[in-house]
Structure 1
Amino acid sequence: MLNSKPEEAALSIESIESVTPGVSATADDVAVCVVRCVEGTARLGMVFQHRGSAVGAATPRFRLTAIEWYGKQVEQLDTVHSGKVTFKGAGAETLATREVLNSTSQH
């Protein structure tokens, strides 16, 4: 029987390279960060939120849209590995160095 539990991952932000606000009220902010995967496997399309945030409409969520590992675009980042990632979502200015983002069950 297949495991129905969704995959989980946690990313620690090592540095924030850029944050670009969305160009319209409906566009997502874009943040490029160097992260270290501290738990699980982070995959493209996963949604992350601030650690300890309650699930709710007011909690900023960020979709993982790109992963660069040793200069190559990849689809996942495994535990203990670091890479440059791109997040999209409103509230990217709330991201901070040394913060840990946890994946949510929303994909």
Structure 2
Amino acid sequence: MLDNGPEKAALSIESIESIESVTPGVTDAVDDVAVCVVRCVEGTARLGMVLQHPDSAVGPGTAAPGFLLTAIEWYGKQVEQLDTAHSGKVTLTGAGAETLAKRDVLNSAPRH
């Protein structure tokens, strides 16, 4: 398989089913878990991708908060990827999930 550079994906939020805060194994750390129905509008979204809300950067030179794509459900089955033009239910983990809204577009974060 040819490596054409980093994969890109964009997910448009169609609806938000739930947002909850969880405390992982790290002391004083809190992550949000958001379950959303999305449509993949560009590329292929894959498990483990970090997605960013382009409008939520904290300031100049500061990266937007990232959400780890931890689950994808497509037609009731758990899958590892969601291709362009397909819709599915995804689970996103990361701080700031309460800022997500319907019609927001999340873009894959560049890998370094």
> TM-score by structure 2 length?
0.85
Counterpart in 1 of 2:14?
14
> TM-score by structure 1 length?
0.89
Show the 5 A alignment for 1:53-72: 56-57=62-63, 59-72=64-77
CA shift for structure 1 position 25: 3.2
State the alpha-carbon separation in 2 of the partners of residues 43 and 95 from structure 1. 19
Unaligned segments of structure 2, at least 5 residues: none
How many pairs align? Answer: 106
State which drifts further: 47-56 or 63-72: 47-56
Give yes or no for the alignment of 1:102 onto 2:107. yes
CA shift for structure 1 position 5: 1.1
Unaligned segments of structure 1, at least 5 residues: none
Query: Would the aligned equivalents of 2:16 and 2:34 in 1 still touch at CA under 8 Å?
Result: yes
State which drifts further: 1-10 or 72-81: 1-10
In percent, how many aligned pairs have the same letter? 73
State which drifts further: 83-92 or 17-26: 17-26
Show structure 1 runs of 4+ deviating over 2 A.
1-4, 22-25, 51-57
State the alpha-carbon separation in 1 of the partners of residues 28 and 111 from structure 2. 22
| Change in 2 beyond 3 A, CA 1:2/1:56 | farther
State which drifts further: 48-57 or 77-86: 48-57
SS, match of residue 3 in structure 1: coil
Show the 5 A alignment for 1:1-107: 2-3=2-3, 5-23=5-23, 25-51=28-54, 56-57=62-63, 59-106=64-111
CA shift for structure 1 position 20: 0.3
Q: Give the letter for the 1:44 counterpart.
A: L
